[in-house]
Structure 1
Amino acid sequence: MAEKLLEINNLHVEYKTDEAVVYAVNGLDLTVNRGETIGLVGETGAGKTTTALSIMRLLPERIGYIKDGSIKLENKDIIRATEADMRLIRGESVSMIFQDPMTSLNPILTVGEQISEVLELHKKNMSKAEKSKRVDEILELVGLPALRKKDYPHQFSGGMKQRVVIAIALACEPKLLLADEPTTALDVTIQAQVLEMMKDLKEKINTAMILITHDLGIVAQTCDRVAIMYAGEIIEIGTAEDIFEGKDHHPYTVGLFGSIPDMKKTSKRLSPIEGLMPDPTNLPDGCKFHDRCPKCMEICKTKNPDVFLEGMHSIKCHLYSLN
């Protein structure tokens, strides 16, 4: 039986401003097993990055709040951990690859110094020579020559910077890696190389991964399970086979697949999902997707649907929960 690494239950996250309260994550449940890769998919504003920042406890100060729920990493309560505890957890037990490699690195420190900083925080027993050797190893592991550790970020291309960011994230061989759209800023060729590298590294050190992305093609190639997120909720989750080949799906999932061009068919236009994401400061009653759903029923407008579960595949939709 798979061993649970991360358990998130009924997570609610809000951003409070002078103008309004943004309900970013609304009752999210998610479990990640050791060595497993989960794809977190959804439109911009669905709450994917907020979920990752909540796991890292990096929500903006005085604005972002975890209002309810629990996050447990190896049975450690992340929400109630002190900031001193979190500094020990970040980088060693869980690491994050942020969206934009261009802004993730310090421009006045060499890349070697930035990788070494992680080791200084978490591997205090290592000598200076051992840390230098580890920096060389991790750079080679992500496909960069060890000699380049003395270079500064501006001397690297976008793809190389992303490799450095990944090197920093993997320096202490964390048990969980949060990859927030790690290939968005890269061209297609470099995207493929970075994804293949991440897949190889995950297999070498048995790191579990939450991959946040808009690209269902990337999900199909790399993920064991897939979670579809909408308006701060996971509305469908299952194995990659369930999501890509199963017969039952949430209407939103159907819409996501319908907006992808089919290489086998000729069509003049794509088929986007009608409408926009709901205003997170004023979420609708009932199912959050009902005003965009082609199969909307009266009950969808007033009652939040229960979860329909079949094996490892669950769908939060009245179409299935009422049957």
Structure 2
Amino acid sequence: MSQNRNNQSKMIGKQSIAFQNPPCIIAAASVAGKKEGEGPLGKLFDVVQQDPMFGKNSWEEAESELMKQAAMKVLEKAGLKKEDIRYLIGGDLLGQLIATSFGVAELSIPLLGIYGACSTMGEAMSIGAMLVDGGFADKVLSITSSHFAGAEKQFRFPLDYGNQRPYSASWTVTGSGAVIIATRDQAKLSPSEPAILIKGITTGKIVDFGIEDSMNMGAAMAPSAFDTIRQNFEDFQIEPSYYDRIITGDLGYVGKNILIDLLKEKNYDISNNYMDCGIEMFDKDSQDTHAGGSGCGCSAVTFTSYILKQLKDRNWKRVLFVPTGALLSQTSFNEGQTVPGIAHAVMVEAE
């Protein structure tokens, strides 16, 4: 990886950062719902809840409980107390981030609430890594969540309506993923265990190809994933083969093909080392999720369960983790506006 920078600057190219003291992911946790637990990754999740209400009275309260459980689980796995965390960075899909604000309120950790739609985990990890590398925090908890029923209620139709879903539609993942990012010296590693480091990031731009179909998130987000991934290659002067895996958040089967085609037009072929969290999450034949999984929780729980395991087991050394988001709201959709996309790339390496 070429790093054309002086000793003072961490800025690379147009949109990227290379960390001089790469932060370390010292713990991760995943909490998922029943349907997700029945999918191909189900055995890797830390917690699978059978009750979609999580013991609460509303879908929104259920998602807050989901995020709270993920936050408590990652603290437990790290052997830390909530007082040990300098900042909590998180967000969700619900209006005014109510899943996050109500879910983590009792933890009393300084909070930076963020919104990147389904790209939020990439944004949360990027900000967390910058805080740690910059010396502004020693430990940061990055987290996000989504809930199928809450998302359907807000963005589409109440579940009781029973509307038919087109084949381009994805299934919002009920899940929450959390990581603790810290300085490398705080990682409690066995002699055979690699450190999982965030080596760099590429922050995405808003990209709008004029997609108006809110049921086709893959098509809306693929152009932004293309833009960020291409920029990562250009900023760091690397080829796709530098990574063992290039992993998008939730483009699904529709967006996957669009992304591959867009990159091929720029002479980048990722077809041999590319995967998408939304495709990995569910079994296409038996779970009736059409285009695949989506939502903030999709990339978050896939990263904290499956992707990190592959890095820790040394099956992969370098991955480019690219959560993808569709920036629409009830208001923008009802007013006939298009669906812009955004994607944030995180360079994660086992060392």
- The bucket for the TM-score relative to the shorter chain is under 0.3
Q: TM-score, normalised by structure 1?
A: 0.25
Q: With CA pairs under 8 Å and 6+ residues apart, which has the higher RCO, 1 or 2?
A: 2
TM superposition score normalised by structure 2? 0.24
